[in-house]
A = this chain, B = another copy of it.
Amino acid sequence: MGIMPVLNDEVPDEGDYDASRRRGEFDNITPDDFIRGSDGGNPPGWLDSSEIDDLRRKMPIVYVEVVPVRADDFGRISKVGTLLHVGPDGMIERTLICGRVLFHESLREAVARNISKDLGDIALPLLPVSLQPFTVAEFFPTPGVSEFYDPRQHAVTLCYVVPIAGDCKPQDETLDVEWVDPVEVRRPDFMAQMAGGHGEILRRAIGWAG
């Protein structure tokens, strides 16, 4: 199996125009941008901030969330991967791989693109044969409506566990990828580092995997 042919045009490298942008702003791409960008106004690949913010207040946004794992030859999870990065408050945060599905992008492409964005191009993810997610997490902009909270938007997030067969080099704003034993994950101090309900998604992934 060769290197995953992810949609690299859409993944800005270091040194690109977006190098100084904050994590998550990459979510804001829409197809219009690619078209509009060519006339010299906006840089290509980005929706105007106010426009994407407007969309986020009008309808639910489709997301995929990926729990990267190392699996042994029998398919059992040996390690669970989480991403470390610096949060808006300067604290280290622990997250999973998570991103918006773009217009006319398939779920499989979105899963592959977001893995490549966070883990690099030689991670060799083994995507699931079925798109039946292990859970669907509904993030609401109002705290307390569900276990999942996202102040920016109402997101409907399809969650998948994806074995990673290759090497990971953290990309984008990710400081490091940390691989831990599945039993470690249930430790309260570990869970406390995962805000917004992403720890609950991880817990469900491990329960579902068995």
Contacts and interface: CB of A to CB of B under 8 A. Distances in A.
Contacts of A145: 104, 106
A55 B56 CA distance: 11
Contact of A154 (B103, B108, B112, B130): B103
- Number of copies of chain A assembled together: 4
Given A55-B58, A127-B75, A207-B203, A136 B138 contact: no
A167 to B, nearest CB: 13
Interface string A87-108: 0000000000000111111111
A59 interface: yes
Q: Which of A55, A106, A142, A145 has the most B CB atoms < 10 Å from its CB?
A: A106
A203 B204 CA distance: 9
B126 A156 contact: no
Given A59-B55, A59-B61, A210 B75 contact: no
A142 B104 CA distance: 9
A74 interface: yes
B135 A132 contact: yes
22 contacts: A31-B58, A32-B57, A55-B59, A57-B103, A58-B103, A59-B100, A59-B103, A74-B109, A77-B129, A101-B156, A104-B154, A130-B208, A131-B136, A131-B210, A132-B132, A132-B134, A132-B210, A134-B208, A136-B158, A136-B210, A204-B207, A207-B208
